[in-house]
Amino acid sequence: MQYPEPIARLIASYMNLPGIGQKTATRLAFYTIEMKDEVVTEFAKSLLSAKRDLSFCHICGNLTEEDPCSICRDKTRDQGTILVVEEAKDVMALEKVREYHGLYHVLHGVLSPMEGTGPEDINLASLISRLHNETVKEVIIATNATTEGEATAMYLSRLIKPAGIKVTRLAHGLSVGSDIEYADEVTLLKAVEGRREL
């Protein structure tokens, strides 16, 4: 059956979102049609506002309403430490922990030769220029534990270490509450490598 054009366009729009297939997009489209007009209007305003009112901080690359972002403007934060993440959502996840008080740098991706993503395709040049500031003493690399994340971490380490700046990597391994018998070999290897004294 052919859907009316407005519904077909709405389904196609939802399918542009990551992880949304035909069935989910169709379900969301019909749910949207059944929503009250004021709720749909507010939803549309939220989408437009997020697109228009947000930009990337010119210093760290984080999402912000004001440039520079609130973290870069905060002089009480540790100016000697920069934690490097893949995406802006990673900054928000780490801020929820409330244990890290340094600065951030968002790469907006990782190195992936298979997909044609090289150093010039991620937010690397601004990181290097930030490292010329003599107050930076440590760079913490917090890329994901994927092949691309590990390759990016190694590349950054080789790039930064010659400048005499300490380069560290977030620990990987067993998650809290997990059983060793169910962990995969790579996770167990990372857990053993990242062990610490009690």
DSSP letter string, 125-173: HHHHHHTTSTT--EEEE---SSHHHHHHHHHHHHHHGGGT-EEEE---S
Q: Global pTM?
A: 0.82
The answer on 18 and 99 residing in a single domain is no
In a domain, residue 190? The reply is no
Please check whether residue 165 lies inside any domain of the structure. yes
Q: Are 102 and 28 part of one and the same domain?
A: no
Q: Identify whether 185 is part of a domain.
A: no
How does pLDDT run across 111-160, given as a tens digit for each residue?
Answer: 998 899 999 999 999 999 999 877 999 999 999 988 899 999 999 999 99
Structural domain includes residue 182: no
Residue 196, pLDDT > 90, answer: no
- Beta bridge partner(s), residue 81: 138
Reading the block at residue 118, the tokens are 């090289």
pLDDT digits (tens, 9 = 90+) for 182-192: 777 877 777 77
The domain of 18 spans 5-53
Cβ atoms of residues 106 and 60 within 8 Å: yes
Q: Do 109 and 31 lie in a common domain?
A: no
Q: Is the peptide bond before 6 cis (omega within 30 degrees of 0)?
A: no
